[in-house]
Homo-oligomer: A and B are copies of this chain.
Amino acid sequence: MSMSLSAARKETFGETCSPVMPPVPLTLNDHLRALQPYGARQRFNRGETIFSEGDPSNYVYKVLSGTVRICRHAADGRRYIFDFMMPGDLIGFLECPDQPITAEAVTEVTLISYPRSSFDRLAASSAEVRTRLLCHLSASLLTVQQHLFVLGCQNAKERVASFLLRLADRNDVGAGHGLDLTMGRQDIADHLGLTIETVCRTIAVLRNDRLLTVPNTHQIILNDIGALRALAIEV
């Protein structure tokens, strides 16, 4: 997942400044800045579809603000949400002629769309970019595998704990601080392979156990991250 984030944010304790700057590798996002002139800013309202499964993959998107859900709809109405994409996250970078998934705005969303052609040109022009892209894809695959474990092995309580912890990690929110739940309970349920009622009940249980405080529907405070991690035993 995004352990690089927490590492990057780590402040130096003591006076020891790193003497020689090692060549900090540029992130994929850094490279994408080169695409700035081709990028178009777009805005979507709550619930709007950004693109649908089967649409041609003409654009690569970067989320600027808001939350996007990446999902798939079955013919009978069942829905699975693969992940939630948040500011800084990239969407649609898969090597795939048609979009294999649907992207919908969970909240009001702003994003930048880069034409696939210019994205490809950037990748073609620089080995470094391709390497970064490979790393990015690898990281995505690891994240998804992590989630497979959640769905394959964990019960409701563990799933909710895993979900909240990952969200806290991504948003760099520690214990005692409010964590924004931009998505609704139904979204969480469809991401965890549960029903909305089970998600509600499970959150209620964790609240009764004093592991959580729930000031309001869209905010949660993690009181005991250690206990939550113990629940979400992974690896």
Contact = CB atoms under 8 A, between A and B. Distances in A.
A25 interface: no
Contacts of A76: 233
Contacts of A133: 134
B74 A234 contact: yes
A145 B145 contact: no
A147 interface: yes
Contacts of A13: 124
A78 to B, nearest CB: 5
A223 B9 CA distance: 49
Most B Cβ at <10 Å: residue of A14, A82, A137, A147: A137
B8 A101 contact: no
A11 interface: yes
Contacts of A193: 151-153
A93 B139 CA distance: 12
A209 interface: no
Interface string A150-185: 011100000000000000000000000000000000
